[in-house]
Amino acid sequence: MKLLLDFLPLILFFTTFKIAEGHKAAAAAFATQHFAFLVSGGQVGPEEAPVLLATLVVITATLAQALITRLLGRKIDLMLWISMALVTVLGGLTVWFHNETFIKWKPTGVYWAMALTFWGSQALFGKNLIKVSLKETIHLPEQNWLRLNWAWAGFFAFMGVLNLWVAFNFSTSTWASFKAFGTIGLMIVFVLGQGFYLARHLPDEEPAAEEPKP
């Protein structure tokens, strides 16, 4: 359930964008008819309609994600708070100004905020977030915990840069596909790499004590 909630806004953004991209004139007419009051000038063109509609959907989905999380009695985690704030502000600017640049910065803002969180918690407060999350189930030397924490900080920093490179060197359609599938694929590869690292550095289990002979 949580996994579905985490990826639902992303899936809905991509699906809405692709449907609207295939029917630009109808998407522009629909957006102008129903959302003109949210757009500067009150008119949505065919080229901007797909990303505008997808942005409205992802804002709604992210807010709904937070609401459902609370209704299920769960705590809204830091990443969702950051994502919700950025998608609302940058998404709202994209819609009002007819400018996709704002929403393209949203993933980078989330990634860099997370990178700063992992770095700052360790460097400024001596708190290793990876260790805090896993210490009850995994036991590692302190040096390995530090490497894992810096690895996550570096990964999110890299993802932020990569998002901008794709967003501003390729078409919006390509960026939407990368956002939906490329980022998830890279995250899976990184997590698998973390798993291999953990497997290599876990301390050997102590041999079971031999039962005393009668």
30 domain-assigned: yes
- Enclosing domain of residue 82: 1-98
The total number of structural domains that make up the chain: 2
209 domain-assigned: no
* pLDDT tens digits, 71-118: 988 888 888 899 999 999 999 999 999 999 999 999 999 999 999 999
pTM of the model: 0.86
214 domain-assigned: no
The reply to whether 88 and 105 lie within a common domain is: no
The reply to whether 117 and 177 lie within a common domain is: yes
The reply to whether 88 and 1 lie within a common domain is: yes
178 domain-assigned: yes
Q: DSSP for the chain?
A: -HHHHHHHHHHHHHHHHHHHHHTHHHHHHHHHHHHGGGSTTS---TTTHHHHHHHHHHHHHHHHHHHHHHHTT-PPPHHHHHHHHHHHHHHHHHHHHT-THHHHHHHHHHHHHHHHHHHHHHHTT---HHHHHHTTT----HHHHHHHHHHHHHHHHHHHHHHHHHHHHS-HHHHHHIIIIIHHHHHHHHHHHHHHHHHHHSPPPPPPPPPPP-
